[in-house]
Structure formats: C-alpha cells, structure tokens
C-alpha cells in the first residue's frame, strides 16, 4: 500500500467507532429498565472524540432504542448544543432564533452528560 502513495509513504486511516460500537460502550443504566440504546450518532460530529471545542457545539443526535419485551425498535432524535454553539449557529446563518422541538442544552460537550440527559428525556416521554 505504501508504494501506491506519493513519496512511498503510508498513511493509516483511523476510523471513529460505529454507531453500534458507541451504543455498546455506554454504561448500563438501570433507569432505562429493559430498554436498550442500540445505535447512537450525531449527524456531523463523531461521538468520540467529540467536537474540537467542547464549549462550542451543536448537532443532531440520533438514537435507536430497542424494547426486548415487544421486539420493537424505534428512533429518537435530539438537537444537542452548548450556549456558545447556539450563538454560533445564529451568527453564521444570520438567524434571529433557533427552533428545535427536542433540544438539550448543556454547558459543554461531554458524552456521559449527553447520555444522562437523553435517558432523562426518554423516561419523561
């Protein structure tokens, strides 16, 4: 392979974890009961390592859930952002407001905090 690249140098590609691998890596949460998070991913950002600046973040989170009792799978999505991420969107798009029916605003990007807030919203619905 290295003979195919200019200068005879090889560049290894490191792929981010898949949506299934991310979901499997999440800790068990007894609050969910038997419900399982099967897939978890953002539209534009890799869940891990996350955004380059955890203080400035805004992206759509997609979660596939599974109920083993019924065999039912379904998707839920949430717009996850930080205050600075929302401000950046407003500035860059020249919008006066952001409307998102399922929005979670956190002080900074932290996957565990995102997971906890999503679980609390799932249980509330």
Mean pLDDT of successive 10-residue stretches along the chain, which has 125 residues:
55 80 89 93 94 96 96 96 97 92 94 94 87
What's the pLDDT score for residue 8?
A: 56
User: Cβ distance 52 to 77 under 8 Å?
Assistant: no
What's the pLDDT score for residue 7?
A: 59
What's the pLDDT score for residue 74?
A: 96
pTM, two decimals, is 0.83
What's the pLDDT score for residue 5?
A: 55
What's the pLDDT score for residue 28?
A: 86
**What count of Cα atoms within 13 Å lies in the side-chain half-sphere of residue 17?**
15
């Amino acid at each position: 392979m290295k003979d195919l690249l200019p200068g005879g140098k090889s560049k290894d590609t490191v792929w981010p974890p898949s949506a299934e691998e991310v979901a499997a890596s999440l800790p068990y949460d007894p609050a969910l009961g038997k419900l399982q998070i099967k897939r978890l991913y953002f539209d534009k950002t890799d869940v891990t390592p996350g955004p380059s600046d955890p203080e400035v973040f805004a992206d759509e989170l997609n979660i596939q859930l599974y109920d083993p009792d019924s065999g039912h799978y379904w998707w839920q999505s949430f717009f996850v952002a930080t205050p600075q991420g929302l401000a950046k969107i407003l500035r860059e798009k020249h919008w006066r407001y952001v409307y998102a029916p399922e929005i979670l605003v956190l002080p900074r990007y932290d996957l565990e905090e995102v997971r906890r807030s999503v679980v609390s919203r799932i249980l509330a619905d």
